[in-house]
Amino acid sequence: MKQPLLRVVVDGSNLATEGRTIPSLSQLDDAVRAFLEEYDHADVIVVVDASFEHRVATGERARFKEAEVAGEIVTPPAGAVGRGDAFILKIAQRINAVVLSNDSFQEFHEQYPWLFDSGRLIGGKPVKGVGWVFTERLPVRGVKSVRATRAVKKLAVELPEGVVPAIGDTLTPVKAARGAKRAAVKTTAVVKATAVVKAVKKVASVELKEAKEAKDAKETATAKAPRSAKKSTATKKAPAKKTTAPLIDVAPSAPAVALRRGRQAVNPEDGFAAFVKQFKIGASLTGDVVAFTSHGAVIKVTLKNGSQIECYAPTTSLGDPAPARARDVLKRGDQKSFRLVTVDSERRIAELALT
């Protein structure tokens, strides 16, 4: 029996930064691919923060822009209140979707109580030697969660006895006060609304003050640090850039979206050598669609000796104009004709285009 479609909103910024300090587009792609392998009945929407493009490594920005234009990655409008988290939860609520994230969204517990419903939140982590492991989870309550809950409760307005809000009215302090005036009742609601607004402003003021004090303390500690310590820190940080370079330095001939983290080879050396010998650039070949990623499809090609080689077909090579998703033109198990576009000998993988 065919499983019903599972709608999933992916917290891309969260998964791309899991176990890292700088987000990785390749890691995000790997996570989405692994999730679709495990949940083959899922339809995902990948959402990242508006600043994601500027935080990923320089070598990944062109690929990110390509995925964004193709509609495979969504960013919230600039200046959106609540940033990416609010945007993710709003989408999930509208389509009744599962959220794939390791975040607990503490600021939104009162606004979206369904986060605590069974099966509405799934987390995932990469395990060395195993790959990505996904599991259902419940949000963790904390200081931010309690603060948000209290703030929402304070904003609840009590209307004077006998006053019923009209259809379309929202029970905010301002509208409640107007309704009370129109009904010619006592101004108790106005007084309460003013008190609530003051209380909220006070909470916001305290938070801003705490944030400023923490920032000033950090700047002071940095200014007082000995020059030798700063020099030592700079020296230690320099090699880090060299270490991470291989993860983002993708050659022009490589596929548009990485199928594995870093530069790890995809196919065995002997098998890939046989593939390159049998097929030249521009050659036509037949392949089986075996899986999908957030940016394309995984194609397996059978060689004359019977061995199989894993290739990749990005969405940009699946039509003109390119489809929004590879699933729109291909199905798992399809056998299609492709053209060999390029070969990445270092990673031992080939990029194909649908003919």
Q: Is residue 231 part of a domain?
A: no
Statement to judge: residues 135 and 159 lie in one domain: no
Q: Is the pLDDT of residue 105 over 80?
A: yes
Residue-level pLDDT at 256: 41
Q: Are residues 16 and 136 in the same domain?
A: yes
Give the integer Cα–Cα distance in Å for 294 and 315: 9
Q: Tens of pLDDT along 22-37?
A: 999 999 999 999 999 9
In total, how many domains does the chain have? 3
Of 222, 239, 261, the domain-final residue: 222
Look at residue 100 and tell me whether its pLDDT is greater than 70: yes
288 within some domain: yes
Average pLDDT estimate for 129-153: 77
Residues 127 and 171 in one domain: no
User: Domain with 57 in it: what CATH number?
Assistant: 3.40.50.11980
**Predicted pLDDT at 336:** 95
The domain boundary residue, chosen from 79, 108, 140:
140
Query: Can you tell me the distance from the alpha carbon of 27 to that of 12, in angstroms, rounded to the nearest whole number?
Result: 10
Structural domain contains residue 95: yes
Provide the pLDDT for residue 322. Answer: 86
- Report the CATH number that the domain containing residue 314 is assigned in CATH: 2.40.50.140
Q: What is the mean pLDDT of residues 80-96?
A: 88
Residue 148 maps to a domain:
no
Tell me: do 45 and 93 sit in the same domain: yes
The SS3 call for residue 301 is: strand
pLDDT band for position 253 (50/70/90)?
very low
Banded model confidence at residue 214, pLDDT cuts 50, 70, 90: confident
- Whether 232 maps to a domain, the answer reads no
SS percent in the chain: helix, strand, coil, step 5: 45, 20, 35
Q: Buried b / exposed e across 133-161, counting CB within 10 Å, b at 16+?
A: eeeeeebeeeeebeebbebeeeeebebee
Question: How is residue 66 written in tokens?
Answer: 């390509």
The percent of residues above 70 in pLDDT, for the chain, comes to: 69
| 192 against 35, higher pLDDT | 35
pLDDT of residue 318: 93
Looking at residue 131, its pLDDT comes to 94
Please indicate whether residue 95 or residue 255 has the higher confidence score (pLDDT).
Answer: 95
Residue 45: give the domain boundaries: 6-140
305 and 201 in a single domain? The answer is: no
Arithmetic mean of pLDDT, 181-207:
60
Q: Residues near 346 by Cβ (< 8 Å), separated by ≥ 6?
A: 251, 263, 265
| pLDDT at residue 146 tops 80 | no
- Mapped onto helix, strand or coil, the DSSP state of residue 234 is helix
Return the structure tokens found at 218: 């950090």
Q: Does residue 164 share a domain with residue 56?
A: no
More confident call, 239 vs 138: 138
Q: What is the pLDDT of residues 334-354, one digit of tens each?
A: 999 999 999 998 889 999 999
Shared domain for 159 and 107, answered yes or no, is no
- How high is the mean pLDDT of the chain? 79
In this structure, of 49-53, 68-72, 254-258, 293-297, the range with the lowest mean pLDDT score is 254-258
In this structure, the answer to whether residues 120 and 166 fall within a common structural domain is no
Does the residue 227 lie in any domain? no
In this model, does residue 248 exceed pLDDT 60? no
Range with the poorest average pLDDT among 25-34, 65-74, 166-175, 224-233: 166-175
Return the pLDDT at 265.
84
Considering the domain architecture, whether residues 276 and 183 belong to the same structural domain is answered as: no
Evaluate if residue 242 carries a pLDDT over 60: no
Percent of the chain with pLDDT over 90: 54
Same domain, 129 and 173: no
Strand order through the sheet with 98-100? 73-74, 42-47, 6-11, 98-100, 121-127, 131-136
122 and 176 co-located in one domain: no
Band of residue 205 on the pLDDT scale cut at 50, 70, 90: confident
Taking the C-alpha atoms of residue 340 and residue 98, their distance in angstroms, rounded to an integer, is 37
| Domain membership flag for residue 242 | no
Please report the pLDDT score of residue 245 as a whole number: 39
Single pTM value for the model: 0.44
pLDDT at 149: 55
* Same domain as 36, residue 130: yes
Would you say residue 262 lies in a domain?
no
